[in-house]
Amino acid sequence: MNLTRRNIGLIVAPLLATAMWWLTAGLEPDARKVATIMVFCLAFWMTEVIPLSMTAFLGVLLAVMTGIGDISTAFQNLGHPIILLFIGSFLLARSMTRHGLDKRIALFILSRRVFQKSLFSLFLGFSLVSYMLSMWVSNSVTVAMLLPLTIGVVQLIHEPGSHKSPAPFFLLGIAYSASIGGISTIIGSPPNLIGVNYLAKEGIRIDFLEWMIMALPISLSLYAFMLLYVRWFLKKFSFSLAGIKAYVAEHTQTQPPISKGEQITMGVFALAVILWLSPGVFNLLGMEEAYTFMSTYFAESTVAVLAALLLFLIPPGQENEGEGTLTGDDLLKIDWDTILLFGGGMALGQLVVSSGLADVIGASITTFVDPEQLFLLVLVLVGGVLLLTEVSSNTAIAITFVPIVIGVLNQLQLPGLYPVLGVVVACSMAFMLPVATPPNAIVYGSKQVPISTMVRTGLLLNMVAAAVITFWVTFYLSR
């Protein structure tokens, strides 16, 4: 039998589930069943036996069939407001890609003289585009858009006859920048939304601006280190200024004038950002009535759907008469797998809490973790999740482990906000393997990045990410 990853999953998942069933004989029946189902699903997620979203649905279905969940409520998370936030933000990103706004922004930044002075300044231009776009656009879309541009520029740098090329470090740099930038906003990466939703269930509500205030220091710290780290590698390579200028000039000149579709997308995007940030601004200014009004009538999900609807309603010019800036075809091209994974996965995560399994795990951890040793506790939680997300979907890991972390914190009677923030951010900070994050997979698929280079380069970044996240979380907790 050919032991492909899928076949391994089909063998390992039932074996692990059986082992978990026997090991948890002392638990309450519902908690025991949930633990068994979660281990089965985790094995399926890690080996990708079936699409990730379908594994989440399988888990919920098993819960219904074993009597833990009720069919009338089991799939209600598919109608959760955060699902609407996912759909709306994905459609905004789709409009940017369809009309070429993302590429125009990238070329505009790269055409600035400040980014053409040296090899590192050129890399800084690429990574800055990746970092900033990924705050608002899917990380995978950002990297997929920058990949051909980056490869085209790197070909000009590569010396003929030389076996050494800066391509691996350029490509890894834009992938890492996207992952790091994605933690900065609620919509930047799916685990962020998952964390916010679980916190809301605990009575802790985080608005768009509050998340940015907490996450940006972590993001900027990691981004600064990543730049210095990649700069050290790039010192080994030469640089052709004339070639770079010619390439950027050629691509900039072939860009058509800014289209009506781009203008509409930019306007709708700006409106969405303003509405997303407004409640936080009003809250900071002490304008309680305005904050309550905006939070109630212009919640993040409402704004995302409003923005998407405007893109479908507003026509992009006479040449597309009868169509909107987005059309029905665009609905087929957004990441439905992640959306469905979130809905099914949140139902599974809720079962971990409602069955009492999260509290059981929390109680067992409290027997050997000293709550006074905050730094060590946070480092263990962050480091553990970071290692797990190297071999599985960051969304799946967040769905599985955030409720468990909340259970641990409740048992230790510690505030949940900042440790959950740290764990959620850690879900996006896996840099060593192609399967860890979509940006890693995309640059590895270019055949320009050897797996050995990714592992060696990502190992130090993983360790630094765990330390930096732990530092900031401990700092927030000690204030």
With respect to residue 189, please indicate whether it lies within any of the assigned structural domains: yes
* Domain around 28: 1-73
| CA distances (Å), origin 228, targets 113, 135, 165, 171 | 21, 21, 19, 15
Query: pLDDT (tens digit, 9 = 90+) per residue, 416-426?
Result: 788 899 999 99
With respect to residue 219, please indicate whether it lies within any of the assigned structural domains: yes
> Do 211 and 147 belong to one domain?
yes
For tokens 């109608």, the residue is: 79
> Do 45 and 145 belong to one domain?
no
Residue 73 pLDDT exceeds 70: yes
Number of domains in the chain: 2
Rounded Cα distance, 330 and 90, in Å: 10
283 and 209 in contact (C-beta within 8 Å)?
yes
* Helix orientation angle between 451-478 and 167-182, rounded to the nearest 10 degrees: 30
Q: What pLDDT is recorded for position 227?
A: 94
Q: What pLDDT is recorded for position 18?
A: 94
Q: Where are the beta strands (DSSP E) in 70-170?
A: none
> Do 60 and 89 belong to one domain?
no
Record the pTM.
0.71
> Where a domain ends, among 73, 89, 108?
73
Mean pLDDT score across all residues of the chain: 82
> Do 92 and 204 belong to one domain?
yes
> Do 159 and 280 belong to one domain?
yes
Please tell me the least confidently modeled range out of 168-177, 219-228, 290-299, 454-463: 290-299
| Percent of the chain's residues with pLDDT above 90 | 18
Rounded Cα distance, 140 and 146, in Å: 10
38 and 347 in contact (C-beta within 8 Å)?
no
> Do 174 and 96 belong to one domain?
yes
Query: pLDDT (tens digit, 9 = 90+) per residue, 346-395?
Result: 777 778 777 877 777 766 766 766 667 778 888 888 888 888 777 666 77
Rounded Cα distance, 113 and 61, in Å: 57
> Do 171 and 276 belong to one domain?
yes
- pLDDT bucket at 178, cuts 50 / 70 / 90: very high
With respect to residue 396, please indicate whether it lies within any of the assigned structural domains: no
Buried b (16+ CB within 10 A) or exposed e, 236-273: ebebeeeebeebbeebeeeeeeebbbbebbbebbeebb
Helix, strand, coil shares of the chain as percentages rounded to 5? 75, 0, 25
Please tell me the least confidently modeled range out of 29-43, 122-136, 177-191, 317-331: 317-331
> Where a domain ends, among 331, 350, 371?
331
- Among 137-146, 199-208, 246-255, 435-444, name the most confident range: 199-208
Q: What pLDDT is recorded for position 365?
A: 67
Query: pLDDT (tens digit, 9 = 90+) per residue, 83-123?
Result: 787 788 778 878 887 888 877 776 776 677 777 777 788 88
Residue range 457-477: mean pLDDT, rounded: 92
> Where a domain ends, among 331, 346, 362?
331
Query: pLDDT (tens digit, 9 = 90+) per residue, 259-280?
Result: 888 899 989 988 988 888 788 7
Residue 322 pLDDT exceeds 70: no
Residue range 156-176: mean pLDDT, rounded: 74
With respect to residue 193, please indicate whether it lies within any of the assigned structural domains: yes
Residue range 277-298: mean pLDDT, rounded: 82
Q: What pLDDT is recorded for position 463?
A: 93
